[in-house]
Amino acid sequence: MATRSEIQTYPPLAERPIKNTIVLFDVDGTLTPARLDASPEILLLLSQLRQKVAIGFVGGSDLPKQQEQLGDPLRVPVTSLFDFCFSENGLTAFKLGQPLPSNSFIKYIGEDNYKDLVKFVLHYIADLDIPIKRGTFVEFRNGMVNVSPIGRNASNEERQEFERFDKERGVRREMVERLRERFGHLGLTFSIGGQISFDVFPTGWDKTYCLKHLEEDAKKDGGIEYTTIHFFGDKTMVGGNDYEIYEDPRTTGHSVKGPEDTIRELKEMFDL
């Protein structure tokens, strides 16, 4: 039997009732609880919103993680649920299910510098005195490196415990300061996000990178110039991985505390 999303159709982008407007969403903490699945309520709301306006997500994680959180609950490709999909801040991108040009962290930084960075990170974490350590402390992605002092294999309960510990001790903040001192000359940005990790990427490759895709798409035949770009995110404070796009003059930023906030604001803004 076909699911609701498989039989759902949407007006062409140029014919959406709210013209020249797109709504972009962070994933963790905005559309979903951290690292958990999206709820049926918010997936239904996104489908209703897409009838009126273009929508997209922009997440720091790679596409398989966004598929797990957003697409798997409906058993459909996540690229079918949004008009634009910007994984790894847009380094991997799709429009209407079709891939857009990509870029690579390793091409930018070079293999030798990358090895120096990883060596420094692993030595630092080895000497770090924190209650528990699990596994996958460095995760290489297409557009960035994700670093987790506790390790990305931590359970949800362990993630929550570390988040509380980190708020008191500033483990990630101090580690980022050390990395800026050591590798700042490489033109890298260090951005704390989520519960247990931070991202390392070339300066300018934060979430504002995805806006380049929208600008380039507007120049193509049939492309749309989005004069209004709403962005919803939860890590909008200085140092958070939503800060740059939230504060960008090209966007209208909305800071939320979780999916419930997002649902409430969308209903009020778009009469859903």
What residues act catalytically?
26, 28
Q: Whose structure tokens read 């870029």?
A: 103
* Strands of the chain, DSSP E: 21-25, 54-58, 84-87, 92-95, 98-100, 138-140, 145-147, 188-193, 197-202, 228-233, 252-255
Given the DSSP bridges, would you call strands 228-233 and 21-25 parallel, antiparallel or unpaired?
parallel
Q: Give 189-251 as a DSSP string.
A: EEEEETTTEEEEEETT-STTHHHHHHHHHHTSTT----SEEEEEES--STTBTTHHHHH-TTS
CA distance 56 to 264: 18
Q: Which residues pair with 205 in a beta bridge?
A: none
Structure tokens at 84: 């634009």
What letter represents residue 120's amino acid?
F
CA distance 122 to 208: 29
- Contact in structure between 89 and 27 (CB atoms under 8 Å): no
Strand order in the sheet with 188-193: 138-140, 145-147, 197-202, 188-193
CA distance 207 to 38: 21
- Say how many Å lie between the first and final Cα of the chain, rounded: 27
- Contact in structure between 200 and 187 (CB atoms under 8 Å): no
